Chains A and B, each alone.
Chain A
Amino acid sequence: MTIRAAATSGAMAEDVAGGLPARVRGELGYVIDVRLPGMVHAVLVRSPAPAGRVVAVETAAALAVPGVLRVVVAADLDALGLADHSFGTIIPDQPILARDRVRHVGEPVAAVVATTSEAAAAGAAAVRVRIRPSVPLLDPSAALAPGAALVHRDRPGNIIGRFEFRSGDMAAAERATVFRHRASYRSPAAQQVTLEPQVVVARWRGTRLEVWATTQSPDRVAAELARVFGLSPSAVRLRVPPLGGGFGAKNHAKLEPLVAALAALVGRPVRLALRRDEEFVTTTKHAAVVDIESGIDLDGRLTFRRATLTWDGGAYAHSSTAVLRAGGLVVCGPYRVMAAEVLSVAAYTHRPPAGSFRGLGANQAMWAGERQVDVLAHLAGLDPLEFRRRNVVTIGDRLPTGEQAGDPHWHEILDEVDRWRAAQPTGAPRGIALAMKHTMTPSRSEAEVRIDDHGRVTVRSNLVDMGQGLPGVLARIAAEALEVPEDRVSVASPDTARNGFDSTTSSSRGTAAGAAAVRAAAVDLRRRQARGGRAVGRGVAVNEATVDPETGMRVSSSEWHQGAVAATIDLDVPTGRIRIPSILGVAWAGRVVSSIGARLQNEGGLILGLGPTLFEALEFPAGVPTATDLLGYRIPSIHDLPSVVETRALEATDPSTASPAGIGESVVPAVAPAVGNALAAAGVSLLDLPLDPERVLRAIRGAPARTPHRSARAATVRSFAGGRTNDRRADDGRRAWRFTLDGSTVTIRADPLAPLQVLLAERLRIRSVRGACGVGACGACTVLLDDRPVRSCLTPICRVAGRRVTTSRGLPDDDAIRAAVIAAGAAQCGYCIPGAVLALHGAEPAALLDPETTRASADAALAGNLCRCGTYARLIDATERLAADRG
C-alpha cells in the first residue's frame, strides 16, 4: 500500500499547543475524567417500545438495591419548578424524561442515581417500565401524508420544518431543455460513533449550575439550561474538556438538562456516561430521500433542477431544521442553472432523533445531486469532469439559490482532479464528485488573548477541541500575530463563565472563525499595550447573513466549503464487493495553517465518508435499531483504507494574505457519489446507499432490491426495558487481586469477572485505557498483558492476577513506536491512539522495522483498532518512518 505525500504547503507539522504528545500518551483529560467530591452516578431506564403510553414505572425493586439513592421519573421533576419540562436548542420538543407518552425506542423514562455506576446499573435493571404500545409511524412520507397520526399533538402534519426556494424562469428553462433525468436517491440513517460516549457531569452550588459536558456547543447548551431551569445565563457555567470526537453527535443539548435535574434532586454532583447501545438511540444521521429532476441543453449546460428532500427527523427535532436547510441549499450543487425549485422537509417519526452528522445534510443532498450530474454528463455525451467544468459557477455567477457564488474555486479543484485522473492506470473504473457545503450563517466567535509578565500567551475561546486540531491552529495564529514563539502560547478549554461567546463548533467554522477572532484579539492586545493598557485583547469574528443588493435575498452562507473526491474502484463482479484502490480528496483551504492538520482533516473526511458509502446503515424495523454495538454496526477499519490515499488542500496564490477556510467537511459529501459514479462507470448504477455487496450484486444480476428485513434485536429491547431479575449486590463477591501495573504492584478488590478496563479506568483512573465499545470491537482499551496486546474490556480481573499489565503510562519515555506516532502527527481526538500504540507493540519487531514489511505488519497489528477520526494513514506513516530510521 502506498500513501503518497499530500501536496499541502504552509506551516510545519509540529504540534505545539495542540497537545499531540499528551493525546498519544493518553494523558489528555476528557469529560469522563471529571471527578467531583461526592459525585454519584446515573443510569437511565429507557423505553422498549417505539410509541405508546406509559402505564407504570415500578421502582420499588430498584430502590432496594444497595447504593441506589433515588429513582427519578418525570413527575419528580415537578418539584424543581422548571420553566420548561422540555428542551431543544432549536425546537423545545423533547421531554427531559418521558411522562405519559414515549416516542421512540430508547427514550429515557426514568433515571437511577446511585453511589456507584454498578449500583446504578443494577438499579436500572430492576426498574420495570410498563408501556401500552401504539402503532409507530416509521416512514417519513407516511408521517407527512394528510390524516397521519401525530407524533406530537402540537406539531401539525408531523412537520419539523421546511425550507424551499425558487429561482429563475422555470418555464424558459424547461423550453431550453433537451435531455432530462429524474430519480429518487436514498440515504439510510447512520450513527456518528464518537469513540468517546456522551458524558455529562453536573452539580449545583446554591442556585448556580456547573456542568461539564461532551458538547460541541457550550454557549448554546448553557443558554438552554438557563432557559429550562429559569436561571439567568450567568448562573450556568459549562465547561468542555477536549472531546473524543464529535462528528455532529455532540451538537445541541441532549442529556444536560436531565443530569442537571438529577443533581438538583439528589443534592449531589451527578455523572451520566452513556453506554454504546444508548448512543444508537440518542442521535443518528438523518435517513433521507431526495427526489431530483434536472435538464440540460444541447451544449450540455444545466437548464433546471427540481428537488424534493424528505428527511426522517425521528421523534424530536434536534438539529433537523438546520440539516434540512443545509441539504436544500446545496442539492443543486455549485452549478449555474437557469431555474431551480427546491423543497426540503423533515418529518417527525417514531424513530430515535436524528441530528447533525459530519457533512450536515450535504451528504444526502450531494449523493443525489452528484450522482445525477454523471447521468446528465452521459446524456450530453461529455466526460463527467468536462461537464462539471462547463457548468460550475465562477466569480460573478449566481448559485441556484439566486445568490452570488462568493469566492468559487471549482476550476482549480477540477484541475487537481484532472491531474489525478491522468495518473491513474487506464481501465480502472473511476468516478468523481464535487462537494459543496454551507457554513453556519450568521454566527459569532469571540476570543481573548492575554500575555503575562513572563511572555506566556493564553488564548481563550469557546470553540471546542474535538480532534480537528483547533488548539494548534489558534495558537499558531496568536503566535504569528503577536510575533512570539508558538511554544509560549497555550489555548484554554471552553468555559462559558470565563470565555467569550461562540455560536458552535460545527459546520467547519472553527478554523476560519477562530482564526479571525484570535487575530482580532491579538491586534486589540497590541493596541492596548501601545496605549499602556493591560496585556489583554479581545476579538470578535462575525459572519452575517448580508443582503444581496440585486435580489434583496439574504446570503445563506458567508463561505462555501468546496471540495471534490475522485476514486477508482475494483469491483468483484461475482460477489458485488467493491474495493477502492485509490482515492483523492481535494479541499479549498485558502490558507493552510497546519499542513498535518489539513492532511488529517482531509484523510479523516475521506475515511469517515467511506463508511456510509460502503456499509454503514442503521435501519429501524418495528422502530428498533438493527445494531446497538460496534460488532453489529461497524465503522471503517484500517483494512478499509484505500490502497492509495491522496489529499490536496488548495491555497490561494498568496496564502499569507488569505483567510483560512474550514476543510473539516469539504470532502465528506463527495465520497459516496464519487464511488457511486465509479461503480456506474463499471456498469452498475445505484440510487441507494450503502453500496454494500448485496445491493451491488442484486443490481448486477437484475434482482429486485431487498425489502427491509423486519427482525429487531430483541436483546436491544430487553436491555432497555429493565425489569430483569438481578441477584447481584454491587459489593458482593469481591476479593483482592494483585498484579503488576506499569511496573508497580497493585491490589484491587473486585468481582472476579469484572472487566480490567473498567477497573483501570474507573477505579485506578488511568486515562489511556478508554472504554468505547465494551465488546472488544474498537481497541481503545488495549493494554499489554505480559507484553501481548489484549482487549481489557474482555479481560476479567481474575485472569490478570500475578501478571504484568502495561498501559500507555507504563511504556518507556523513549518508546520508539510512540515517538514515531508523535512524529507523524498521528492523532486527532486521541481517544483511541494510546490503544493503537499498544496494539502496534504486538507486531513482530523484525517485521515492523523492515521497510519491506512494516506496512503489512502495522495493518495486521491495527486490524481491530478503530479510529473514527480516520488517522489510519498517519499511523502507517509512523511505522514507515520508524522502519526507515531503523531499517
Chain B
Amino acid sequence: MAAVRAARSLDEAVALLDADPACRPLANGVGVLLAMARRRGGLGAQLPPTGTWIDVSRIPELAGIRGPNARGLVEIGATVTIAELGRSAVVPELLRVAAAAIGSPGIRAAATVGGNLVSRGGSSDLLVALAALGATVRLTGPDGERRRSIRWLPAQVARSRRTGEAPLGAATLLRSVLIPALRPGSGWGFERLTFQGAMDGAAVAVAVTLHGSARPGPSSGPARVVLTSIGPRRVRPRSVERLLETDPDASASVVMAAVTVDLERRRLHDDHRVSAWYRRAVAPVLIVRAVSAAQGRRS
C-alpha cells in the first residue's frame, strides 16, 4: 500500500524524510507512476506503488519562477511544471526550447522540473540546457542548505540507481535551480536528434552557450558545450569549449575536428536502438549545428 503525507513547509518535508529514510518525496507523481508502470510492463497500473510518500507539491518554497534578482539569477522552483517553464518569459529561451522537447503537452502539464532532473538524470533534455547555462541546484536537507553545480546531479542520480540510496543525499530535497543571466552578446544553440517526430528519447542532444564577454571588446567569455544521452555520463567536451573561448567564431570544420578528437577517447552508450558508433558519428554534427546557431545569435 502507499501512504501520502502532505508537508506544508520545506522544513516539515525534510523532517518527515529524515524521520523515515524509506520515505520518498512526491510532487505530481508522473515519474513515480511511470517508473512503476515500466517495471510492471506498461499497464502496470494494476499495482500502484507502495511505501510512504511525502507530498511536496504545496510547499511554497518549491513553487514558482522568481527573478532575476539583483545578481541576475533566475530561480526555478523544483515543483514548477515543464509547461510552466516553457511558458515563462523570465527564463532564457534555451530553457524554453529544451522544455518544449520534453514529452508531450499532457506530460509537460504535470511533470515537474525537479522530477525531471532527479528521475532522468544525465539523459534529461532539461539538464543539458541547464548545464549549458551554468545552472546551480539549491538543496535543502537536515544539515541546512547547500548549493551544487548542476553538473553534480547526473552522477548522483546514476549512483542512486545503482545503490538505491536517495539521489540527493539522505532526507535532502531539490529546492530550486538557479540560472545566471546570459551576458549581453551571448548566444545559444540546442540540437536534439530523435528517430521519430514526437515523444522520442534523443539519441543525442546538445546545448551550447557562447557567453558574451564581461568587458566590451573582441575578447570572448566562457563557452559551454554539453551533450546528453550519449554516454554513461553527461559529456562536456572541454577541448571544444576552450576552442570556442579562444575563438567564438571558430569555423564549422575546426569545431568538427575538435569534437571528433574529443569524443574519440570517450566511452559512449551502446543500446539496442542506437550504437556508440552512431552517437560518435552524429554528436559532432549536432555540436557544429548548435555552435553555428549560437554564433548566429551572438550580437
A interface residues with partner B (beta carbon < 8 Å): 43, 117-118, 120-122, 125, 197, 275-279, 574-577, 614-615, 619, 621, 626-631, 634, 636-641, 692-694, 697-698, 701, 703, 706, 709, 711, 715-716, 718-720, 726-729, 732-733, 751-755, 757-758, 771, 773-777, 779, 782, 785, 788-791, 793-796, 798-799, 839, 842, 860-861, 863-865
Minimum Cβ distance to chain A for residue B168 (Å): 21
Indicate if B170 sits at the interface (CB-CB under 8 A).
no
Bitwise, B104-124 to A at CB < 8 A (1) or not (0) is 111101100000000000000
Beyond A637-B199, A753-B53, whether A773 also contacts B43 by CB under 8 A is yes
Beyond A121-B46, A751-B1, whether A637 also contacts B197 by CB under 8 A is yes
Residues B30 and A774 in contact, CB atoms below 8 Å apart: no
- Ranked nearest first, the 5 interchain pairs of A and B with the lowest CB-CB distance are A864-B104, A639-B197, A733-B1, A277-B41, A276-B42
CB contacts (< 8 Å) of B296 on chain A: these are: none
Q: With contacts A774-B40, A794-B30 known, what are 7 further pairs, Cβ within 8 A?
A: A117-B46, A276-B42, A628-B42, A751-B48, A789-B105, A790-B106, A794-B107
Chain A binder among B125-133, B136-144, B270-278: B270-278
Residues A793 and B39 in contact, CB atoms below 8 Å apart: no
Residues B43 and A276 in contact, CB atoms below 8 Å apart: yes
7 contacts between A and B (CB under 8 A): A575-B282, A576-B282, A630-B42, A694-B278, A726-B47, A775-B42, A793-B37
Report the nearest A residue to B47, measured CB to CB.
A121
CB contacts (< 8 Å) of A574 on chain B: these are: 282, 285
Beyond A637-B199, A865-B104, whether A125 also contacts B47 by CB under 8 A is yes
CB contacts (< 8 Å) of B4 on chain A: these are: 752-753, 798
CB contacts (< 8 Å) of B197 on chain A: these are: 636-641, 863
CB contacts (< 8 Å) of B196 on chain A: these are: 614-615, 634, 636-637, 639-640
CB contacts (< 8 Å) of A43 on chain B: these are: 46
Report the nearest A residue to B49, measured CB to CB.
A753
Residues B34 and A788 in contact, CB atoms below 8 Å apart: no
A719 to B275, CA, bound (A): 26
Beyond A577-B193, A634-B196, A863-B198, whether A694 also contacts B42 by CB under 8 A is no
Indicate if B200 sits at the interface (CB-CB under 8 A).
yes
Report the nearest A residue to B1, measured CB to CB.
A733
CB contacts (< 8 Å) of A275 on chain B: these are: 40-44, 46
Partner of B198 from A125, A698, A775, A864 at Cβ < 8 Å: A864
Minimum Cβ distance to chain A for residue B85 (Å): 14
Bitwise, B277-293 to A at CB < 8 A (1) or not (0) is 11001100110000000
Residues A779 and B104 in contact, CB atoms below 8 Å apart: yes
Residues B282 and A753 in contact, CB atoms below 8 Å apart: no
A719 to B46, CA, bound (A): 13
Minimum Cβ distance to chain A for residue B238 (Å): 24
Report the nearest B residue to A781, measured CB to CB.
B106
Report the nearest A residue to B31, measured CB to CB.
A794
Residues B281 and A719 in contact, CB atoms below 8 Å apart: no
CB contacts (< 8 Å) of A732 on chain B: these are: 1
Minimum Cβ distance to chain A for residue B97 (Å): 13
Q: Which of B249-278 contact A (CB under 8 A)?
A: 270-275, 277-278
CB contacts (< 8 Å) of A728 on chain B: these are: 1, 47-48, 50
Partner of A693 from B29, B48, B278 at Cβ < 8 Å: B278
CB contacts (< 8 Å) of A796 on chain B: these are: 26, 28-29, 32-33, 48
Minimum Cβ distance to chain B for residue A176 (Å): 44
Residues B41 and A628 in contact, CB atoms below 8 Å apart: yes
Partner of A773 from B42, B200, B203, B285 at Cβ < 8 Å: B42
CB contacts (< 8 Å) of A839 on chain B: these are: 105-106
A49 to B91, CA, bound (A): 50
Minimum Cβ distance to chain A for residue B298 (Å): 23
Beyond A626-B272, A634-B199, A839-B105, whether A758 also contacts B281 by CB under 8 A is no
Beyond A118-B46, A693-B193, whether A775 also contacts B34 by CB under 8 A is yes
Partner of B278 from A626, A697, A719, A755 at Cβ < 8 Å: A697
Residues B43 and A771 in contact, CB atoms below 8 Å apart: yes
A779 to B103, CA, bound (A): 11
Indicate if B214 sits at the interface (CB-CB under 8 A).
no
CB contacts (< 8 Å) of A709 on chain B: these are: 270-272, 275
Beyond A640-B196, A728-B50, A753-B4, whether A711 also contacts B271 by CB under 8 A is yes
A863 to B200, CA, bound (A): 11
Residues A715 and B39 in contact, CB atoms below 8 Å apart: yes
Beyond A753-B2, A779-B104, A785-B109, whether A697 also contacts B282 by CB under 8 A is yes
Residues A789 and B32 in contact, CB atoms below 8 Å apart: no
A580 to B233, CA, bound (A): 34
Report the nearest B residue to A720, measured CB to CB.
B41
Indicate if B90 sits at the interface (CB-CB under 8 A).
no
Residues A788 and B37 in contact, CB atoms below 8 Å apart: no
Count chain A CB atoms within 10 A of each CB in B34, B38, B46, B83 and give the residue with the most.
Answer: B46
Beyond A276-B43, A629-B42, A754-B48, whether A706 also contacts B275 by CB under 8 A is yes
Residues B47 and A864 in contact, CB atoms below 8 Å apart: no
Residues A790 and B109 in contact, CB atoms below 8 Å apart: yes
Report the nearest B residue to A777, measured CB to CB.
B199
A666 to B199, CA, bound (A): 29
A842 to B103, CA, bound (A): 15
Count chain B CB atoms within 10 A of each CB in A628, A706, A755 and give the residue with the most.
Answer: A755
CB contacts (< 8 Å) of B28 on chain A: these are: 795-796, 799
CB contacts (< 8 Å) of A619 on chain B: these are: 272
CB contacts (< 8 Å) of A118 on chain B: these are: 46-47
Residues B198 and A638 in contact, CB atoms below 8 Å apart: yes
CB contacts (< 8 Å) of A575 on chain B: these are: 193, 282, 285-286
Report the nearest A residue to B50, measured CB to CB.
A728
Residues B45 and A791 in contact, CB atoms below 8 Å apart: no
Count chain B CB atoms within 10 A of each CB in A614, A709, A753 and give the residue with the most.
Answer: A753
Indicate if B245 sits at the interface (CB-CB under 8 A).
no
A631 to B42, CA, bound (A): 9
Beyond A626-B272, A709-B271, A794-B30, whether A774 also contacts B44 by CB under 8 A is yes
Residues A775 and B272 in contact, CB atoms below 8 Å apart: no
Minimum Cβ distance to chain A for residue B103 (Å): 6
Q: Which of B162-218 contact A (CB under 8 A)?
A: 193, 195-201, 203
Partner of A794 from B33, B43, B57, B277 at Cβ < 8 Å: B33
A733 to B24, CA, bound (A): 17
CB contacts (< 8 Å) of A121 on chain B: these are: 40, 44, 46-47
Minimum Cβ distance to chain A for residue B292 (Å): 12
Beyond A728-B50, A796-B33, whether A755 also contacts B41 by CB under 8 A is no
